[in-house]
A = this chain, B = another copy of it.
Amino acid sequence: MPPFRRVALIGLGLIGSSIARAVRARMPGVALAGHDRDADVCETVRRLGLVDEVAETAAAAARGADLVVLAVPLGAMRAVGEAVREALAPGAVLTDVGSSKQAVIDALGDLVPAGVHFVPGHPVAGTERSGPEAGFASLFEGRWCILTPPDGTDPEVLGRLEAFWTGLGARVERMDARHHDLVLAITSHLPHLIAYSIVGTASDLEEVTKAEVIKYSAGGFRDFTRIAASDPTMWRDVFLMNRDAVLEMLARFSEDLAALQRAIRWGDGETLYRRFEASRAIRRAIVDAGQDTPAPDFGRSH
């Protein structure tokens, strides 16, 4: 028995459309409704046949669903919450996939009708692509999905939401919302900010042309351009909504970078070597944990 009978996906981009595909592939019999505020996205989802019903409004999609998943940028959460609240039946579960959890609790907490179970979530998965055509059914396989249930969440509800994510191939972890936001600030938000920043730096040089940057990017730069190609709206909202944790991690990063800068300026090779040597162990641990491919160069074809 699947943990839910009717799932509503509000937002049908990379994540929403991947959930749709994964449900289709792995939970036959579950009814899928969807809505996106972008009519072109709705049309694409209809054409691809990703859900049973593409509804005209978020409320229409949510009506009758026992799981409603908000898969929209963080800045749109409150508006979408206001749009669906009247359609949420008692006993329904409301969740989301946003990358900052306290922000979602702040945006939605006071909107949730009595009798509706609100359990924020975050599947740590994605690619640099956006939109419904970029999604795929195996996106969540072997990835972690973090749930940040408020105190007093019904264990039965939590169990069903966990079963939903494990059913899509993910592994589930529970966490306090504020701790989630700190963990993601260092593992995801700061890396994206740095990637966006260095791509900007490289684009604005006078002595080195953009054509040269592109041509010789295999020296390392190209790695950064991948995550810097991610959806700008989503990431703008992440930085605005997880501001304090991002600024905290950024301050630490800047300190550490300044220490390396000083070592370079003063020719302190020992400090550089010691810092660089330590990084290999982290890479190894990530590969051992199944969180990245063991193939050199990410397995890029040569």
Residues of A at the B interface (CB closer than 8 Å) are 75, 99, 124-129, 134, 136, 138-139, 141, 143-144, 146, 173, 179, 182-184, 186-205, 207-208, 210, 212-230, 232-233, 235-237, 239-240, 243, 246-247, 249-250, 252-254, 256-257, 260-261, 263-265, 267, 269, 272-273, 275-280, 282-286, 289, 291-293, 296-302
Point out the residue from B212, B249, B257, B263 that lies within 8 Å of A183, measured CB to CB: B212
> Do residues A213 and B186 form an inter-chain contact, with CB atoms below 8 A?
yes
Given contacts A207-B182, A240-B264, A240-B269, contact A220 B299 (CB under 8 A): no
**A294–B270 Cα gap in the complex (Å)?**
39
Given contacts A134-B296, A222-B291, A277-B232, contact A253 B191 (CB under 8 A): no
> Do residues A195 and B220 form an inter-chain contact, with CB atoms below 8 A?
yes
> Do residues B296 and A128 form an inter-chain contact, with CB atoms below 8 A?
yes
> Do residues B256 and A214 form an inter-chain contact, with CB atoms below 8 A?
no
Tell me if A's interface is mostly helix, strand, loop or mixed: helix
With a 10 A CB-CB cut-off, give which of A126, A247, A272, A299 has the most chain B CB atoms: A272
**A134–B294 Cα gap in the complex (Å)?**
13
What is the chain B residue whose CB lies nearest that of A275? Answer: B200
**A279–B130 Cα gap in the complex (Å)?**
14
Rounded to whole Å, the gap between the CB of A80 and the closest CB of chain B is 18
With a 10 A CB-CB cut-off, give which of A136, A189, A225, A284 has the most chain B CB atoms: A225
Given contacts A191-B219, A247-B261, contact A276 B196 (CB under 8 A): yes
Given contacts A279-B225, A279-B229, contact A286 B256 (CB under 8 A): no
Rounded to whole Å, the gap between the CB of A191 and the closest CB of chain B is 4
